[in-house]
Each structure stands twice: as structure tokens, then as C-alpha cells.
């Protein structure tokens, strides 16, 4: 069956939804300085680099809200040091991320299409559906 969109399209849409979920979860609050942020000042930022860890691009456990200042001038200025901060603040999530990072798999475009079709536009059910499909689901490799 031919899908209506390609992999790049689904990935882009799903990253947007995942980021909406993360902003709701983190209550639009910079996880570093505690400041409330909105609009373009509110960044959902990845923890592990998604160029290296392509399979973790849509994993909301791999994202946190930062204000634009701390995203650009703190996180990206010294990622190794900032990652140490994350590890101390969220030890369980960091452990999960390390386990996921070892797994080499790629979500199929068909699965990305299912995730896109089954999740709400506001991102509210993203984690639940993602886990069902990719973490606890049969498709997980
Ligand atoms: Zn901040």
C-alpha cells in the first residue's frame, strides 16, 4: 500500500507533535533555570544528539524544555557539561536513554504513518502511543 506521504514528511510532523507533548509535560518551564517560557522563547531540546542517535529523534524522553537563552548559550555551548547536569537531575531518564542508545533500529515509514494517524495534533497522547508502538509493541526490534 502506498502511503500518502514520505518518511521526511512524517518525521517532521511527528517531531512537531513530540515537541508539543514535551512543552505540556514540562509545563512551559525551562528545566535549567525554572523560568516560564512561551512562544519562540520555549524550546523543546534534544538530550542525545539525533544526528548520532537517529532512532531517538521522536522519543520525548530524549527532550526537555529550555528557554532560548539556555538552549543556545548554555546547552549548545558545552553539551558534555550540560549532559552531566541532565544526568544528575533526571537519573532514571538518563539511564533509559543510555539503554535506548545501544539499540540500533530504524522506525519504518509505515510505523511513522501509524503514529502520525493515531496521535492527537496537540501532542497530548504522544508518549502513550509512541510507547505502545515502538517500546512495548511488536514492531520493536
Ligand atoms: Zn533557562
pLDDT tens-place string over residues 61-120: 999 999 999 999 999 999 999 999 999 999 999 999 999 898 877 889 999 999 999 999
**How far is residue 67's CA from residue 43's CA, in Å, rounded to a whole number?**
6
Range of the domain at 34: 7-135
Kindly report, residue by residue over 118-133, the tens digit of the pLDDT: 999 999 999 999 998 8
The answer to whether position 141 is within a domain reads no
Ligand 1 centre and the CA of 54: distance in Å? 26
The answer to whether position 123 is within a domain reads yes
The answer to whether position 88 is within a domain reads yes
**How far is residue 24's CA from residue 128's CA, in Å, rounded to a whole number?**
14
**How far is residue 140's CA from residue 112's CA, in Å, rounded to a whole number?**
13
The answer to whether position 2 is within a domain reads no
The answer to whether position 140 is within a domain reads no
The answer to whether position 45 is within a domain reads yes
Kindly report, residue by residue over 13-49, the tens digit of the pLDDT: 999 999 999 999 999 999 999 999 999 999 999 999 9
Ligand 1 centre and the CA of 134: distance in Å? 31
Q: What is the pTM of this model?
A: 0.92
Ligand 1 centre and the CA of 66: distance in Å? 5
Ligand 1 centre and the CA of 62: distance in Å? 18
The answer to whether position 118 is within a domain reads yes
Cβ-contact 59, 130 below 8 angstroms: yes
**How far is residue 41's CA from residue 28's CA, in Å, rounded to a whole number?**
10
Number of domains in the chain: 1
The answer to whether position 82 is within a domain reads yes
Amino acid at each position: 500500500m502506498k502511503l500518502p506521504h514520505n518518511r521526511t514528511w512524517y518525521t517532521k510532523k511527528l517531531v512537531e507533535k513530540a515537541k508539543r507533548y514535551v512543552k505540556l509535560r514540562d509545563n512551559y518551564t525551562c528545566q535549567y533555570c525554572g523560568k516560564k517560557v512561551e512562544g519562540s522563547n520555549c524550546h523543546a531540546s534534544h538530550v542525545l544528539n539525533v544526528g548520532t542517535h537517529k532512532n531517538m529523534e521522536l522519543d520525548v524522553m530524549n527532550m526537555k524544555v529550555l528557554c532560548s537563552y539556555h538552549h543556545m548559550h548554555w546547552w549548545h555551548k558545552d553539551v558534555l557539561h550540560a549532559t552531566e547536569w541532565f544526568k544528575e537531575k533526571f537519573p532514571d531518564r538518563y539511564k533509559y536513554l543510555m539503554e535506548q542508545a545501544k539499540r540500533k533500529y530504524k522506525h519504518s515509514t509505515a510505523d511513522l504513518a501509524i503514529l502520525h494517524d493515531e496521535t492527537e495534533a496537540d501532542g497530548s497522547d504522544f508518549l502513550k502511543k509512541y510507547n505502545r508502538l515502538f517500546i512495548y509493541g511488536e514492531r520493536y526490534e
